[in-house]
């Protein structure tokens, strides 16, 4: 039986994890060669970003064939082998399903373009607006309009993301049937989980101009998302783990999608805590993050999900976010401690934790200084938009260095020399590989890596952490993020010092037993700079 409270998921960005043949691109054989490392870490499931054939305009999120492996990553045999080898080590494989859109190179879209009505109905082809121009004023998530004109059809098609990613029309039962077949295909191969990309965008409400926004209210959490999710769940059954990526969702809706009784998703990614450094919700403007805002956001979501019976995917890093250590911690000073503090916040809250490749060794933003280093379509488009808005080259590059998704996509740092590839990596490595790497981490008992292992072990041994209630603890000092997890008689207290100063701890915790601390010798009366400490209440 699937038990979400026991899962710990590790996200692999295959392109940057391990290259096995020297072409500079990570691949499935590379992942297989690192399974012992992942087993040692103690995770239960590996989620892989898309590995399907794709022209690559959005690094594989533009899928041209849902039932194949892109030759740069290997083939179906390799995938089968990966599933078997992972299973031998007690880990399941979760694949990324990108069903809001297909690549415009997908066979369905090509047939649509060649005029086949049946396949045009797989997508949203619309006539120009009455006065000409795009059918609505909505904006693409990657900048510009989300409609692309096809001259020989005299129609526009919808793409909420890049123009190489055409939105699928889920209203069409034939589309849903195709999707079920794709799921069956991977289930048969032995896949045990699915991550559904931007899944709350699949049901479009109406095609009208948005008078006060970018269009998102017309397609976010649309009227039929829940019905479609129920269909999927009924089809794949209860033992398959699913996680939905939810864009701009409310806590109420998020809980509804993930409550067990509703039989929709096992859990969901939500992003409000990763917008606390966006001034007025704007990603491409810099602002330091506000600790209180971060804590209150996390807390509010933890409480609402608990009250309403939903289940969260807990994460601070993924392939779409700059590295959290550079963002919410400090990548120059006390690095290891900050990384451990963020690890504790990920692994001791209520939900299923996700570890993104490299965070377990404290990888940081690459902070590229030159435009040529960037690969990501969103970053490149944003560069252009910022420049067009009058920002200087220098200002623009500074923003990219902090905000680009490529910060999370640099190669995994296995050794001082890199160890990711024998060839030229598809994207530059972070130069701190000499000090931040797996090889050194394994040797150092105080490393971030070993702290993750300890935390994972602790989590597995504690009902309170895995499935207990969560409750905020108000501290005298406002810079400590503290909460309690409890189940039956077991009570665990988690303290996180979000400053680089020593801070006193409340008296009533002094008798608690220290289960884990990010400092070698925790001081009974004080938290050290950016220390996290996990305590257990004794009788
Ligand atoms: C999700 C993916 C992201 C991709 C987008 C479009 O947000 O995580 O990488 O660009 O969907 O598929
Ligand atoms: Ca390769």
**Are 492 and 485 contacting, i.e. CB atoms less than 8 angstroms apart?**
yes
Closest ligand (CA of 49): 1
Residue of the CA atom closest to atom 9 of ligand 1? 320
Angle at 305 between CA 515 and CA 300, to 5 degrees: 80
* Substitution site in 56, 57, 58 for ligand 1 pocket (most atoms within 8 Å of beta carbon): 58
pLDDT score recorded for residue 355: 99
What's the pTM value of the predicted model, to 2 decimals? 0.98
CA of 98 to the centre of ligand 1 (A): 8
Which ligand 1 atom minimizes the distance to the CA of 160?
6
What is the distance between the alpha carbons of residues 203 and 172, in angstroms, rounded to a whole number?
Answer: 11
- Residue 392 makes CB contacts below 8 A (sequence gap 6+) with none
pLDDT score recorded for residue 474: 86
Instruction: Find the residues whose C-beta lies inside 6 A of ligand 1.
Output: 58, 61, 98, 161, 197-198, 245, 319-320
**Are 167 and 123 contacting, i.e. CB atoms less than 8 angstroms apart?**
yes
What is the distance between the alpha carbons of residues 33 and 19, in angstroms, rounded to a whole number?
Answer: 10
For domain 469-536, which architecture applies? Sandwich (2.60)
CA of 325 to the centre of ligand 1 (A): 22
pLDDT score recorded for residue 477: 84
For domain 107-166, which architecture applies? Alpha-Beta Complex (3.90)
Closest ligand (CA of 22): 2
* Active-site choice (105, 245, 359, 378): 245
Q: Say which DSSP state 410 is in.
A: S
pLDDT score recorded for residue 332: 96
Closest ligand (CA of 168): 1
Q: Which two tokens stand for residue 416?
A: 């001082």
What is the distance between the alpha carbons of residues 159 and 103, in angstroms, rounded to a whole number?
Answer: 10
Residue of the CA atom closest to atom 3 of ligand 1? 320
Closest ligand (CA of 424): 2
For 364-512, strand residue ranges (E) read 469-473, 480-487, 490-497, 503-504
CA of 505 to the centre of ligand 1 (A): 42
Q: Is 87 marked active-site?
A: no
Closest ligand (CA of 164): 1
CA of 419 to the centre of ligand 2 (A): 13
For domain 4-99+176-452, which architecture applies? Alpha-Beta Barrel (3.20)
CA of 95 to the centre of ligand 1 (A): 14
CA of 311 to the centre of ligand 1 (A): 21
Closest Cα to residue 356, out of 307, 320, 395? 320
Residue of the CA atom closest to atom 4 of ligand 1? 61
Residue of the CA atom closest to atom 2 of ligand 1? 197
Closest Cα to residue 365, out of 416, 325, 316, 411? 325
* Active-site choice (27, 78, 162, 197): 197
CA of 72 to the centre of ligand 2 (A): 6
What is the distance between the alpha carbons of residues 115 and 120, in angstroms, rounded to a whole number?
Answer: 7
Q: Are strands 241-245 and 267-269 parallel, antiparallel or unpaired?
A: parallel
Q: Is 245 marked active-site?
A: yes
Rg over alpha carbons for the chain, rounded to the nearest Å, is 23
pLDDT score recorded for residue 157: 98
pLDDT score recorded for residue 510: 82
* Substitution site in 198, 202, 321, 409 for ligand 1 pocket (most atoms within 8 Å of beta carbon): 198
Beta-ladder partners of 268: 244, 312
How is the chain split into domains, by residue range?
Answer: 4-99+176-452, 107-166, 469-536
Which ligand 1 atom minimizes the distance to the CA of 320?
9
**Are 515 and 460 contacting, i.e. CB atoms less than 8 angstroms apart?**
no
Handedness of CA 360, 364, 370, 376 (dihedral sign): positive
Which ligand 1 atom minimizes the distance to the CA of 62?
12
Q: Which two tokens stand for residue 246?
A: 């939810």
* Substitution site in 50, 320, 376, 404 for ligand 1 pocket (most atoms within 8 Å of beta carbon): 320
Q: What is the pLDDT along the chain (539 residues), one digit of tens a residue?
A: 899 999 999 999 999 999 999 999 999 999 999 999 999 999 999 999 999 999 999 999 999 999 999 999 999 999 999 999 999 999 999 999 999 999 999 999 999 999 999 999 999 999 999 999 999 999 999 999 999 999 999 999 999 999 999 999 999 999 999 999 999 999 999 999 999 999 999 999 999 999 999 999 999 999 999 999 999 999 999 999 999 999 999 999 999 999 999 999 999 999 999 999 999 999 999 999 999 999 999 999 999 999 999 999 999 999 999 999 999 999 999 999 999 999 999 999 999 999 999 999 999 999 999 999 999 999 999 999 999 999 999 999 999 999 999 999 999 999 999 999 999 999 999 999 999 999 999 999 999 999 999 999 999 999 999 999 999 998 878 899 999 999 999 999 999 999 999 999 988 888 899 999 999 999 989 999 999 999 999 97
**Own/partner long-range contacts of 141-148 (Cβ < 8 Å, ≥24 apart):** 141/378, 142/58, 142/377, 142/378, 142/381, 143/378, 143/381, 143/382, 143/384, 143/385, 144/381, 146/215
CA of 532 to the centre of ligand 2 (A): 39
Residue of the CA atom closest to atom 5 of ligand 1? 61
């Amino acid at each position: 039986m699937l038990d979400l409270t026991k899962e710990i998921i590790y996200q692999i960005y295959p392109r940057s994890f391990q290259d096995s043949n020297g072409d500079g691109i990570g691949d499935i054989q590379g992942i297989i060669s690192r399974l012992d490392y992942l087993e040692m870490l103690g995770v239960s499931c590996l989620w892989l970003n898309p590995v399907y054939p794709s022209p690559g305009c959005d690094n594989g999120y533009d899928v041209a064939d849902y039932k194949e492996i892109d030759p740069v990553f290997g083939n179906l045999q390799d995938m089968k082998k990966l599933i078997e080898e992972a299973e031998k080590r007690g880990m399941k494989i979760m694949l990324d399903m990108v069903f809001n859109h297909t690549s415009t190179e997908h066979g369905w879209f090509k047939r649509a373009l060649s005029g086949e009505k049946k396949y045009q109905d797989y997508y949203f082809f619309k006539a120009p607006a009455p006065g000409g121009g795009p059918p609505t004023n909505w904006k693409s998530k990657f900048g510009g309009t989300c409609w692309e004109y096809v001259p020989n059809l005299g129609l526009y098609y919808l793409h909420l993301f890049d123009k190489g990613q055409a939105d699928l029309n889920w209203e069409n039962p034939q589309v849903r049937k195709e999707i079920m077949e794709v799921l069956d295909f991977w289930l048969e191969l032995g896949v045990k989980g699915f991550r559904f990309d931007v899944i709350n965008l699949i049901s479009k409400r109406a095609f009208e101009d948005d008078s006060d926004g970018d269009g998102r209210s017309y397609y976010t959490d649309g009227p039929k998302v829940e019905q479609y999710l129920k269909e999927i769940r009924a089809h794949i059954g209860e033992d398959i783990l699913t996680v939905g990526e939810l864009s701009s969702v409310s806590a109420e809706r998020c809980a509804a999608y993930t409550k067990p009784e509703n039989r929709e998703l096992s859990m969901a990614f939500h992003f409000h805590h990763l917008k606390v450094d966006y001034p007025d919700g704007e990603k491409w403007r810099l602002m330091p993050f506000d600790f209180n805002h971060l804590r209150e956001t996390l807390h509010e979501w933890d409480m609402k999900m608990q009250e309403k019976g939903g289940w969260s995917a807990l994460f601070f890093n993924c392939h779409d976010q700059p590295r959290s250590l550079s963002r919410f911690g400090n990548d120059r000073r006390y690095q290891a401690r900050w990384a451990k503090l963020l690890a504790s916040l990920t692994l001791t809250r209520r939900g299923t934790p996700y570890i993104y490749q490299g965070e377990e060794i404290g990888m940081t933003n690459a902070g590229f200084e030159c435009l040529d280093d960037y690969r990501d379509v969103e970053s490149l488009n944003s560069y252009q938009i910022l420049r067009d808005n009058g920002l200087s080259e220098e200002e623009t590059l500074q923003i990219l260095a902090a905000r680009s998704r490529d910060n999370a996509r640099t190669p995994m740092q296995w050794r001082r020399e890199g160890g990711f590839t024998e060839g030229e990596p598809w994207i530059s490595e972070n130069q701190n590989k000499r000090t931040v790497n797996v090889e050194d981490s394994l040797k150092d008992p105080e490393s971030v890596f070993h702290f993750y292992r300890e935390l994972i072990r602790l989590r597995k041994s504690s009902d309170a952490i895995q499935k207990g209630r969560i409750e905020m603890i108000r501290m005298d000092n406002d810079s400590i993020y503290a909460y309690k997890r409890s189940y039956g008689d077991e009570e665990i207290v988690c303290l996180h010092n979000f400053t680089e100063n020593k801070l006193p701890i409340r008296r009533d915790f002094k008798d608690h037993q220290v289960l884990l601390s990010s400092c070698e010798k925790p001081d009974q009366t004080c938290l050290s700079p950016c220390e996290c400490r996990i305590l257990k209440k004794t009788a």
